[in-house]
Homo-oligomer: A and B are copies of this chain.
């Protein structure tokens, strides 16, 4: 795998992508576009940025696209791009959550690879259906669990896979924020839809950020959940969905853990932290300080691994763009998901067998796992915070 792009006959062939969602006012669509641009290996050539036609054209023109590649419905975009000789290599889905499933389905059915924001969908069955279609059509499918893109998250994954901290015994995952500390009225639209069950499904906090924490544990350790017990609470009056949730976890290998997510934890911006304790060592990953990671081997002093140094192995190190001490951040994390996905697209195009998990981007299996996690937590909570099997 390479993050520097591939070539045919010595000439770099850039990939082409289209975007669904990401119109005026969209934060996350803009992030995806900037992150992809950072590496300059994939060009945006088409889009259906909104369900409001004027907004499709407004955003498209701002991005330098001509009307020919702008579409007022995602269905039309899927159909026409699939038909073009120079159609997109993959689609990026950054719509509101409830559209992830139908949009992904539409593109898979015409054989176009998909990168989709999380959550993959609301129901496990939908996720499994998408997977079945992807398999049938030979489509690749990435889910943008952003933080897996950090070099240090990859380093943790690599070290754990190699047994450097021994069998995992305890997992502590937390993801506190404080941006929903005000009531929904004070917050206005941005917060409001997240706490509305019609738009956000059964959970707000667990679905929005708790699932990142669960995914990170899964990504780093590969552990399979056995059962869980969730307590989901709404702390701000007038809100319907959870804004602070705590989950006890038990994994199939006997490891146990706790996951806490909150949007009302004053003093926390975006403080995803995952600590993994094994029989021989531990790792401590803090998203806001993601150029570093604390590693402790049994009986030795804690070490501070720095991205870009020799402490970082080849697998993770291949995703570094800058020397140590020259911080990489959130955009680079997204870019790393895309560079890995692009590598898989190249290899697929070259006729190679592609094992998606080995490329390092979050797969549709992780997306389904995330949907199952949120639903199981809701099941547990609805039943009085009892233990439910996973």
**How far is B254's CA from A231's CA once the two chains are assembled, in angstroms?**
12
A294 at the B interface (CB under 8 A): yes
Task: Contact check, B288 vs A291: say whether CB atoms are below 8 A apart.
Answer: yes
In the complex, chain B residues whose CB is within 8 Å of the CB of A384: 387
A11 at the B interface (CB under 8 A): yes
A15 at the B interface (CB under 8 A): no
In the complex, chain B residues whose CB is within 8 Å of the CB of A133: none
| Option from B11, B174, B266 in Cβ contact (under 8 Å) with A282 | B266
Task: Contact check, A229 vs B248: say whether CB atoms are below 8 A apart.
Answer: yes
Question: Residue of B at shortest CB range from A177?
Answer: B325
A246 at the B interface (CB under 8 A): yes
| Option from B33, B39, B289, B325 in Cβ contact (under 8 Å) with A40 | B33
**How far is B182's CA from A298's CA once the two chains are assembled, in angstroms?**
10
Within A167-211, which residues are at the interface with B (CB < 8 Å)? 169-170, 172, 174, 177-179, 181
A12 at the B interface (CB under 8 A): yes
**How far is B329's CA from A290's CA once the two chains are assembled, in angstroms?**
11
A125 at the B interface (CB under 8 A): no
Question: Residue of B at shortest CB range from A34?
Answer: B38
In the complex, chain B residues whose CB is within 8 Å of the CB of A294: 267
Task: Contact check, A385 vs B387: say whether CB atoms are below 8 A apart.
Answer: yes
- Given the known A-B contacts A63-B40, A302-B304, A303-B303, are A277 and B269 also in contact in the complex, defined by CB atoms under 8 Å? no
Q: Flag A16-52 by CB within 8 Å of B: 1 or 0 each.
A: 0000000000010001011001111000000000000
**How far is B329's CA from A329's CA once the two chains are assembled, in angstroms?**
5
**How far is B265's CA from A282's CA once the two chains are assembled, in angstroms?**
8
In the complex, chain B residues whose CB is within 8 Å of the CB of A63: 40
Question: Residue of B at shortest CB range from A308?
Answer: B269
Nearest 9 A/B pairs, CB to CB? A270-B325, A269-B325, A267-B296, A327-B329, A329-B329, A269-B324, A301-B303, A326-B330, A266-B282
Can you give 13 A-B contacts (C-beta < 8 A)? A37-B38, A169-B244, A170-B235, A244-B256, A248-B385, A267-B277, A269-B308, A291-B329, A302-B306, A303-B303, A322-B329, A327-B327, A384-B387
